Amino acid sequence: MSYPEDITEHLTTLRDYVRWGASRFNHAGLFFGHGTDNPIDEAVALTLHALHLPHNLPGGYFDCVLTPNERTEVVGMLERRIAERKPAAYLTNEAWFCGLPFYVDERVLVPRSPIAELIEKQFSPWIGQPDEITDILDLCTGSGCIAIACAVAFPDADVDAADISTDALEVARKNIATHDVGDQVSTVCSDLFDGLEGKRYDLIISNPPYVNSEEWRGLPQEYHAEPRLGLESGKSGLDCVRRILRKAHAHLKPEGLLIVEVGNSAEALDYAYPDVPFCWLEFERGGDGVFLLTADQLAEYRNQFA
């Protein structure tokens, strides 16, 4: 699409820029799914960020006229999204999870797990007595979003936030400091359970990498801006998940629960372990591919995971 160089003379209000940005995004064939799922919301997020305005700006302000400098800033931000093909969250360095803002950059995946909904409900009905939960592990923590949201939802719990990437753990520590949960959340550099010898938890939550190599290669460009280590997990997509299933039992308390997101690899997992009764959780806000197993079930099917 060609447009006049003086586009800022033709568009005046905040709403004009959102509409124009969304049209440009559609024309450019951008992919959405890293925090927003459509071009309008993506254009709103970028426009408000460029204007230093809050993400929940009341609708009436969208009729406000922008100054010449503001128009240039907004157009620059919207054009960057097209030129760089990065998720908006990497341009704004902010993503929301469980109603909390997180600093993000290319060292971590953009938070978007449906597990947020479970955390907000304190894992009801699976957990009956939230105040009895004292030890939680967020395995493959990335930005620390799951660990920190759990610390907020379970104020009496200690939370380990583990990741193999020292880069990701730096981001997680920044978020832990911002949310002032350093007394509850500890980062651990660990290859899955290898660095967690002897530790047992009430709850192990994991959003590990689970995309198979072929699928990863075919993902839209926006995903390729994210760390490959956070997405791809071998030929079947199940390399990390298999290792988690093998060791999780040794790190759960007797009444403990394991909750793991495997996304599109759910079918492959059911196929790999046909006898294991994975409980696939349902979400009101959308999303799927998250299973729950109890410590007892992990013990019962131990031989299959070996």
Ligand X SMILES: C[S@@+](CC[C@H](N)C(=O)[O-])C[C@H]1O[C@@H](n2cnc3c(N)ncnc32)[C@H](O)[C@@H]1O
Contact assessment for residue 294 and residue 164, using Cβ atoms and an 8 Å cutoff: no
Which of residues 230 and 256 has its CB atom nearest to ligand X in the complex?
230
Q: What are phi and psi of 202, to 5 degrees?
A: -75, -35
Q: How far apart are CA 247 and CA 218, in angstroms?
A: 31
Q: Going by C-beta distance under 8 Å and a sequence separation of 6 or more, which residues neighbour residue 295? A: 249, 252, 253, 254, 255, 256, 257, 258
Q: How far is the CB of 142 from ligand X (least distance, A)?
A: 2
Which of residues 47 and 113 has its CB atom nearest to ligand X in the complex?
113
Tokens encoding 171: 């981001």
Is residue 163 within the footprint of ligand X (CB under 6 A)?
yes
Q: How far is the CB of 270 from ligand X (least distance, A)?
A: 20
Which residue in the set 21, 87, 114, 230 belongs to the binding site for ligand X (CB under 6 A)?
230
Residue type, 159: V
Q: How far apart are CA 271 and CA 80, in angstroms?
A: 42
Q: How far is the CB of 96 from ligand X (least distance, A)?
A: 12
Which of residues 15 and 246 has its CB atom nearest to ligand X in the complex?
246
Which of residues 165 and 187 has its CB atom nearest to ligand X in the complex?
165
Which of residues 47 and 143 has its CB atom nearest to ligand X in the complex?
143
Which residue in the set 192, 238, 258, 298 belongs to the binding site for ligand X (CB under 6 A)?
192
Which of residues 70 and 138 has its CB atom nearest to ligand X in the complex?
138
The 231-250 site mask, x for binding ligand X (CB under 6 A), equals ---------x----------
Which residue in the set 57, 64, 82, 229 belongs to the binding site for ligand X (CB under 6 A)?
229
Considering only residues 109 through 148, tell me which ones interact with ligand X, judged by CB under 6 A.
109, 111, 113, 140-143, 145-146
Is residue 35 within the footprint of ligand X (CB under 6 A)?
no
Query: Closest residue to ligand X, Cβ-based?
Result: 142
Which of residues 66 and 145 has its CB atom nearest to ligand X in the complex?
145
Tokens encoding 238: 């199940």
Name the site residues for ligand X (rule: CB under 6 A).
Answer: 108-109, 111, 113, 140-143, 145-146, 163-165, 168, 190-192, 207-209, 229-230, 240
